[in-house]
Amino acid sequence: MNILITGGTGFVGKELMRHLHAHQHHTYVLTRSPEKYVNTADATFIGYHYPPEELPSIQAVVNLAGESLFGYWTETKKNKILDSRIHTTERLITFIKKLSTLPDVFISGSAVGYYGISDDLMFSEKTTQAGDDFLAKVVVKWEKTAKQAEELGIRTIYTRFGVILGKEGALPLMSLPVKLFAGGKIGTGEQWLSWIHIEDVVRIIDYCIHNEAIAGPVNVTAPHPKQNKVFMKTLAKALARPYWLPVPSSIMYVATGEMSQLITKGQYVISNKLEEHRYHYSFPYLTEALRHIYR
């Protein structure tokens, strides 16, 4: 299978490519700077100037590009977070329209931030009411832009990622105070964290590509979300470090600005879609997921 990917050089993109190559698929990575990368037998790097009609038949497109959420959220940073997602998706849709044949499936990265923030509500794909905070508004606009693929008659999936656990991403930031023997709950510790192991992320994307019955939003989260106080205690145990020093929300805000809401607030999200389609998780439980990462 030939698969076109944006964001192929990022955390999720790199792991997804390894997975796809191991299963004999060829990836075409659409990037702004293809000259920085070396083509291999499994991966071809192309720029947006590349003539789409010269590509072989593309069966699937995976859109993972976007400015990182990590960093102090100035107005400039927030504009980059939004504009990078909208602009890249629009350019990708334009590129797809010029392919010799339309792909069978379009998977657009998204986030559980769609649902907004809550300590007591449970969200699933059946939840249609989006939140009203910054991230929720970004996700709504992102998915609306990606919906253009659906309007072309392409099976379209919005993979709403939870907090992805792996060697990159959020986990190194969350584990740093624990490694420095200053680990403890963050803020009240009551906020929910809907997490997912990186291995399940790439397997779920692959699962969605090949399962023709799956369409629309898919929550990419493990079946057992954890409150921050439980998550941090489990993390401390996995790293053989003490769990004793709470971190006030105010300190997180001073250090990271509005971005602190990614850690000090959260939502309880489950995936009815994956359960209905009988996806089998590699890491359904947090303890095993962290042990695997820090083995």
Distance (Å) of CA 212 to CA 19, 49, 182? 20, 31, 47
Tens digits of per-residue pLDDT, 93-105?
999 999 999 999 9
DSSP-derived pairing of the beta strands 26-30 and 2-6: parallel
Domain contains 134: yes
* SS3 (DSSP) at 27: strand
Domain contains 36: yes
SS (H, E, C) 213-281: CCCEEEEECCCCCEEHHHHHHHHHHHCCCCECCCECHHHHHHHHHHHHHHHHCCCEECCHHHHHCCCCC
42/262: higher pLDDT:
42
Query: pTM here?
Result: 0.95
Contacts of 258 (CB under 8 A, 6+ apart): 73, 78, 134
261/82: higher pLDDT:
82
Q: What is the CATH number of the domain that holds 116?
A: 3.40.50.720
Residue 251 pLDDT: 83
Q: What is the domain extent for residue 176?
A: 2-290
Where b means 16+ CB within 10 Å and e means fewer, 202-232 reads bbbbbbbbebeebbebbbbbbeebbbbbebb
Taking 90 as the threshold, does the pLDDT of residue 55 lie above it? yes
The number of distinct structural domains making up the chain is 1
Taking 90 as the threshold, does the pLDDT of residue 254 lie above it? no
Taking 90 as the threshold, does the pLDDT of residue 255 lie above it? no
Among 113, 111, 117, 110, which residue's Cα sits nearest to residue 266? 117
**Which pLDDT band, with edges at 50, 70 and 90, does 235 fall under?**
very high
Residue 56 pLDDT: 96
Tens digits of per-residue pLDDT, 136-167?
999 999 999 999 999 999 999 999 999 999 99
Domain contains 179: yes
Tens digits of per-residue pLDDT, 70-84?
888 899 999 999 999
Domain contains 295: no
* SS3 (DSSP) at 293: helix
Residue 137 pLDDT: 97
**Which pLDDT band, with edges at 50, 70 and 90, does 90 fall under?**
very high
DSSP-derived pairing of the beta strands 43-46 and 26-30: parallel
Domain contains 199: yes
Q: What is the mean pLDDT of the chain?
A: 95
Distance between CA atoms of 24 and 144, rounded to whole angstroms?
32
Tokens linked to 112? 């559980």
Taking 90 as the threshold, does the pLDDT of residue 174 lie above it? no
Domain contains 40: yes
Domain contains 49: yes
Asked whether the beta carbons of 5 and 22 are under 8 A apart, the reply is: no
Distance between CA atoms of 14 and 31, rounded to whole angstroms?
13
Residue 238 pLDDT: 96
Taking 90 as the threshold, does the pLDDT of residue 6 lie above it? yes
Asked whether the beta carbons of 232 and 183 are under 8 A apart, the reply is: yes
